[in-house]
Amino acid sequence: MITFALAIVLMLSTPGPGVLSAAGVGAGFGARAGLRYIAGLCIGQALVFVFVAAGLSAVVLANPWLRLTLMLLSCCYLFYLACSIAMAGSKISFIQTARAPGLVAGILLQPINPKAYAVLTALLTGFPLYPEDYWTEVTIKFVILNIIWIPIHVIWVYFGVSLKRLNLSAKLQRGINIIMALSVLLVVALATWATF
């Protein structure tokens, strides 16, 4: 179990769209919005966990057109989130940023996030804990995953909120929001490149 927990920490230590967008929502919109967003990410992650445990991720990962479709949806959605983060607090914007990405935005991200499928598939198929009882193993792994996953995402939101609390100039805060947004887009680009 310790090896499994360590693997989770290592996989989550490479920031993906979820943690970076959580930090961006925290920086751009504050703690409440960030916590609502990660609540949605948590629900979405649980859905992907169920898909992977039921074997549906094998269909997604083995089917090139379905994988491409999810990747394109993910890229478009993350581009929208990145724009929302980048334009938070900006007077000039081409999208409405009055509402922060919230619960629904978090839920929608995970099922179209290819990294979520890849990480959860690796965690569920590797590190056997109870090979003779699959569903006991799945349940235990789900609990361990969330014990680690939730605090890490809360820390990222806190990191974003801490940046906002520094009372930086509007120009510098806007720059930080843009850097956060670009980081999300960079992770998407790297994931796309690694996938194909």
Residues of 123-148 as b/e, b for ≥16 C-beta within 10 angstroms?
bbeebeeeeeeeeebbeebbebbeeb
pLDDT of residue 191: 59
pLDDT of residue 94: 36
Which residues lie closer than 8 Å to 176 by C-beta, 6 or more apart? Answer: 27, 163, 168
Rg (CA), the chain: 17
3-state secondary structure 17-51: HHHHHHHHHHHHHCHHHHHHHHHHHHHHHHHHHHH
CB 130 within 8 A of CB 140: yes
**pLDDT one-digit tens code per residue, 21-52:** 888 888 888 899 999 999 999 999 999 999 88
* Interatomic CA distance for residues 24 and 180, integer angstroms: 5
**pLDDT one-digit tens code per residue, 93-129:** 333 445 778 899 889 888 877 778 778 888 888 788 8
Q: Record the tokens describing residue 40, joined without a space.
A: 């949605």
* Interatomic CA distance for residues 100 and 145, integer angstroms: 27
Let me know the angle formed at the C-alpha of 149 by 34 and 186, rounded to the nearest 5 degrees: 65
| For residues 59-65, average pLDDT | 74
pLDDT of residue 49: 93
**pLDDT one-digit tens code per residue, 136-195:** 999 999 999 999 999 999 998 998 888 777 877 778 777 877 777 777 677 667 656 655
